[in-house]
Structure 1
Amino acid sequence: MKILVTGGAGFIGHYVVEQLLDKGHHVIIVDDLSKKESRQIEGVDFIKADLSKDSTKLFSGVDTCINLASKIGGIGYFHKIPATILSENCKIYSSTFEAAARCKIRRMVFLSSSMVFESAKTFPSKEEDILTCPPPVTGYGFSKLVGEHYCRTFLSEYGLPYTIIRPFNAYGINEYPGEYVGYAHVIPDLIKKIYDRQSPIEILGDGNQTRCFTHVRDVARAIVLATESGAAENQDFNIGTEEETRIIDLARMLWKICGEKGEFQPKFIKGFEHDIRRRVPDSSKARKLLGWAPEIGLEHGLMEVAMFLKNAHQHNRDR
């Protein structure tokens, strides 16, 4: 199958492309290489492009598009440029969906986000809960909900089949800490604080927020399974571990994994306005229709990330 992967040089995209290649697919990556994590893969067709512009030529001859491209970051990033995130992501979705419809591709596989459930009151959240859940309040979360509406409306008007994937807190190797608090996601940010010898360790909020951290290889496997499965056509899937971890407990785990000998001492600092208290997926639909289940445990995954970032931290110090 000839598959166009937008954002394919990014954090999740890199893992998706590798798994697609392992299965023998012809992959084309389109990316603007704007993120630190962006990496090109040898032997893959690569096009550097701004996907907010007319994308029709990029979709010519394509069977399926896995649409990963968007502006993304940590909670501080969401709060700093909410209008830019909403505007730029909607431009990307408009351009790519219109091009896909014109070129009559077989399916659009859209990477949404667990952030569409940021106002959820029911846990664990099922796919059908999106129909009754209050809309997200962050620009990023709302942009992803808009992307889901693109999926459904382009099916209704143009007959463009879709699959929606909602990953819950993907983490793994090749995701880096940010330039300021909250710019990147919590795992690389906490590891950086530990390797920088920050003491006490600053934690946003009271530390009792919970997340279901899902290894990026498991997320990528779900995306590839859904892309190949006829049962996934015009369906949405929550992809996550269902195992809740408090942020304070995550910080303690990372303190130990990073080899710190002293007493773990947290310092709770004021969080952001729209920090979500709890996000928990019900992933039973993915298990039933895709045969997917997470395989990589949190402790093992965190050890991988800690070693990767330790090497990166040492490299930066030696420069």
Structure 2
Amino acid sequence: MKILVTGSAGFIAGYLVEELLKRGHSIVGIDNFSKYGPVEKSYDHNPRYLFVRGDVKDIDLMKELIADCDQVVAIAAMIGGITYFHEYAYDLLAENERIAAATFDAAIWAHQQKKLQKINVLSSSMVYESTTVYPSPEGEQLCCPPPLSTYGFQKLACEYFAKGAWEQYKLPYTIIRPFNCVGTGERRAISEKEILSGNVKLAMSHVVPDLVQKVLKGQDPLHILGAGNQIRHYTSGADLAEGIALCVESEKAINEDFNLSTPVSTNVLELAEAIWQKVNGDKPFRYVSDKPFVYDVQKRVPAVEKAKTLLGFEAKSKLSDMLDEVIPWIKEQMKAGNI
């Protein structure tokens, strides 16, 4: 199968492209390097991987790339951690809507005029931002109040793009919601904004790399957002890549939506202490609570049975093992000046 992956130089896409190539697919990747700047990937010289540096909003370019593809995985977006939601509230909404519209325009054209079979849309756990139902099953995003953050609202809009493209143009889709990806590949985001947490400048990315860099830089006491009782499901990038690949390949995924996540809940304080112990050993764990952000969702707990039943997918990687991989990688990135 030939698959177009948008945002192919990004964090989750890095795991996904590698997984799809391993499964024998041919990949066309497009990215404009807007978040991290130019990056090299292990598969850059794979003969079944073609990379094009370009903007997904360029409809003519997208039509050219998608013309002979069987499927597209729409990952390209402005995305980051909690600081992104507050520093770029308008840009996240406006830019991601433009990206979504251009991607769907090209996909609808390719489905009608060429051979495109399906679009796979990476949504987000943030569509459940306003839920009070835990675990949150697929379909709950249609029952709970809409997300309050512009990021969560736009991700929900992406799901409606898929719904509308099917209803009007019969473009098949799969909606994919990864939960709290953990892995190697994140760098300091290119940004004019500088956000401090104590004496450390955040990477404007996600909680794991930001906590790791603060501990590695010797911050003591460690600064965390709020009380640290925010519940998350930290899921391996490799596991997520397998789940997304199954969504691409399985006929059972057509016109379905899936939460892809570990079933294990971890609060931020537990995460912070686990990182502290791996770096500092028996040194007493000390922390202070900074003022939390408005859109720092206190609880995200997904239902995962649907992906297991329809796709046979289970995320089995343990957080401790993920940290053993991520901490040394971030340490090396810090030395190189990338974080």
Q: TM-score range by the shorter chain?
A: over 0.9
| 1:28 equivalent in alignment to 2:33 | no
Aligned to 2:50: 45
Whether contact under 8 Å (1:59, 1:103) holds in the other structure is yes
Partner of 1:63: 70
Alpha-carbon separation, structure 2, partners of 1:61 and 1:310: 41
| Equivalent residue number for residue 92 of structure 1 | 99
In the alignment, the residues of structure 2 paired with residue 298 and residue 177 of structure 1 have an alpha-carbon distance, to the nearest angstrom, of 22
1:180 maps to 2:191: no
Q: Which residue of 2 aligns with 1:3?
A: 3
* One-letter identity of the residue aligned with 1:122: V
- Distance in 2 separating the partners of 1:267 and 1:112: 33
The residue number in structure 1 matching 2:182 is 171
Mean CA deviation greater in 174-183 or 57-66: 174-183
TM superposition shift of 1:316: 3.7
SS in 2 for 1:258: helix
Letter in 1 for 2:99: I
Q: Does 1:206 align with 2:209?
A: no
The answer to whether the Cα contact below 8 Å between 1:195 and 1:313 also exists between their aligned partners in 2 is no
The separation in 2 between residues aligned to 1:177 and 1:195, in whole angstroms, is 15
- Give the deviation of 1:176 after TM superposition: 3.2
1:73 paired residue number: 80
Q: Partners of 2:335 and 2:6 in 1: how far apart?
A: 32
Deviations 1:224-280 (A, max 9, x none): 011000000000000111211111111000001123442110010101011100000
2-side partners of 1:233 and 1:259: how far apart?
Answer: 47
Report the more deviating stretch, 307-316 or 136-145.
307-316
Measured on the aligned residues, the alpha-carbon RMSD in Å equals 1.5
Paired position in structure 2 for 1:117:
128
- Distance in 2, matches of 1:98 and 1:316, equals 39
What residue is the counterpart of 2:145 in the other structure? 134
The 8 Å contact of residues 71 and 119 in structure 2, kept in 1 or not, is answered as yes
2: CA distance, partners of 1:160 / 1:259 = 52
Report the CA distance between 1:282 and its aligned residue. 0.4
Q: Give distance in 2, aligned partners of 1:288 and 1:157.
A: 29
Q: Report the Cα offset of residue 110 of structure 1.
A: 0.5
- Residue 325 of structure 2 aligns to which amino acid in structure 1? E
Aligned to 2:316: 295
Structure 1: tracts of 5 or more residues without a match: none
Do 1:16 and 1:220's aligned partners in 2 also have CA atoms closer than 8 Å?
yes
Letter in 1 for 2:135: P
Contact 2:85 2:295 in 1 (8 A): no
Q: Is the 8 A contact 2:36 2:188 kept in 1?
A: no
Offset, 1:202: 0.3
Aligned residue for 2:285? 264
- Separation in 2, partners of 1:136, 1:39: 35
8 Å CA contact 2:262–2:316 kept in 1: the answer is no
Matching residue's letter, 1:63:
D
* Residues 181 and 235 in structure 2, CA contact (< 8 A), matched pair in contact too: yes
Number of aligned residues? 317
Moved more, 60-69 or 27-36: 27-36
Paired position in structure 2 for 1:155? 166
TM-score by length of 1: 0.96
Q: What code does the residue aligned with 1:88 have?
A: E
| 1:249-260 equivalent positions in 2, closer than 5 A | 249-260=270-281
| Separation in 1, partners of 2:13, 2:21 | 12
Q: Which residues of structure 2 form unaligned runs of 5+?
A: 197-201
> Deviation of residue 177 (structure 1)?
5.3
Q: Distance in 2 between matches of 1:260 and 1:35?
A: 34
